[in-house]
């Protein structure tokens, strides 16, 4: 898990704009680690995390599209049912609001990544740095096996 820079690129909602942005990143040999696109009738917002922030910043500037940078928390997690729920529950238990989140799958070693925009990113980092509490289901299963 790490604090990372997310780029939000504001795009006119018309054919070819997303292709232009992704082509620019491809030509600059910038690997996209996670991305999501949100649309409205007038514009779209591309949110992405890249492997090289400085090179991505330079590449995106060349497009002359409004771009914003935000600190987000990127968490690597097992690609299994309940992994995302566990993380969200830890934030909920610590009273940390999740403004938005998006995920990837198929990462190295079968891992997935989740990107979180939190009301308090530093507090979220501290919460996830502590050992994960035992899940109630796992404890229940162990009790059942002992009988």
In the structure, what pLDDT confidence band is assigned to residue 137 with cuts at 50, 70 and 90? low
Cα dihedral across residues 136, 141, 142, 143: positive or negative: positive
**pLDDT beyond 50 at 104:** yes
Residue 135 has pLDDT above 80, yes or no: no
Pick the more confident residue, 33 or 136: 33
Q: Where are the alpha helices (DSSP H) in 28-135?
A: 53-61, 83-93, 121-129
User: pTM for the whole thing?
Assistant: 0.83
- Burial code (b: 16+ CB inside 10 Å, e: under 16) for 86-106 equals ebeebbeeeebebeebbbbee
For the segment 36-49, the average pLDDT, to the nearest whole number, is 91
pLDDT at 27 over 90: yes
For residue 67, pLDDT beyond 60: yes
The DSSP result for 60-79, as a single string, is: HHTTT--EEEEEEEEEEEES
Q: Where are the domains of the chain?
A: 1-135
Which CATH fold would you assign to the domain 1-135? VC0802-like (3.30.2130)
C-beta of residue 34 within 8 angstroms of C-beta of residue 115: yes
Q: Which residue has the tokens 């018309």?
A: 14
Q: Report the half-sphere exposure of 95 (CA within 13 A, side-chain side).
A: 0
Per-residue pLDDT at 39 exceeds 80: yes
Amino acid 105: pLDDT: 78
pLDDT at 133 over 80: no
Report DSSP state, residue 95.
T
């Amino acid at each position: 898990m790490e604090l990372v820079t997310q780029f939000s690129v504001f795009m006119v909602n018309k054919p070819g704009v997303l292709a232009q942005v992704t082509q620019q990143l491809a030509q600059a040999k910038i690997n996209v680690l996670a991305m999501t696109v949100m649309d409205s009738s007038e514009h779209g917002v591309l949110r992405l995390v890249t492997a090289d922030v400085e090179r991505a910043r330079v590449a995106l500037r060349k497009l002359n599209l409004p771009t914003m940078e935000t600190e987000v928390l990127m968490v690597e997690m097992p690609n299994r049912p309940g992994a995302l729920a566990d993380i969200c529950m830890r934030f909920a238990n610590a009273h940390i609001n999740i403004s938005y989140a998006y995920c990837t799958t198929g990462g190295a070693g079968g891992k997935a990544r989740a990107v979180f925009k939190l009301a308090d990113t530093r507090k979220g980092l501290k919460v996830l740095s502590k050992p994960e509490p035992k899940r109630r289901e796992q404890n229940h299963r162990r009790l059942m096996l002992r009988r």
